[in-house]
Amino acid sequence: MNLLFVCSRNKWRSRTAETIFKDLAGHTVRSAGTENEAVVRISEKLIDWADLVFVMEKHHRTRLIEKFGDKTRQKEIIILEIEDDYQFMDPELIEMLQTSVEPYLN
């Protein structure tokens, strides 16, 4: 299963998610950001690739729908409700991600 994690700048939250889930058996993981200055910017190609899309906040889902319309209607987009209060690999962020994402991996 292809998992895509999305935040604003692809620096802390989505990159942390990609890092902690990248070796998960049976899954391929990528991350991207919605902003122009994102390390990896979200693209139609990434949306097409993903089986599940995890966004950190509701406004990320809104941006995906605005930008990619029909492509996003065919995808399950899960809002994790993780605010931009954490640095890359913050232990609390890791715990939140693991707890939030685990139910979708089985």
- pLDDT (tens digit per residue) in 88-99: 999 999 999 999
Non-local (6+) Cβ contacts of 89 within 8 A are: 16, 19
**β-strand partners of 79:** 55
pLDDT classification of 74: cutoffs 50, 70, 90: confident
pLDDT at 106 over 80: no
- pLDDT (tens digit per residue) in 19-58: 999 999 999 999 999 999 999 999 999 999 999 999 999 9
Please state the three-class secondary structure of 63-103 as a single string. Answer: HHHHHHHHHHHCCEEEECCCCCCCCCCCHHHHHHHHHHHHH
Mean pLDDT of the region 59-73: 94
